Copies of this chain bind each other. A is one copy, B any other.
Amino acid sequence: MLRNDYPDQVCSIARSLEVIGERWTLLIVRDVMNGRRRFDELQKGLGVARNVLSTRLQRLIEEDILERRAYQQGPERYEYFLTEKGLDLWPALVALLHWGDRHSPSPEGPPMLIVHKGCGGAVSDRGICESCGKLLHARDARPVPGPGLERADGKANAITAR
Contact = CB atoms under 8 A, between A and B. Distances in A.
B15 A100 contact: yes
Interface residues on A, range: 35 or more
Given A27-B6, A88-B102, A112 B21 contact: no
A11 B30 contact: yes
B10 A111 contact: yes
A122 interface: no
A9 interface: yes
A149 interface: yes
Nearest to A149: B10
Interface of A: 1-2, 6-17, 19-23, 26-27, 30, 46-47, 85, 88-89, 91-104, 106, 110-112, 125-128, 135, 148-149, 151, 157
A95 B101 CA distance: 18
A112 B11 CA distance: 7
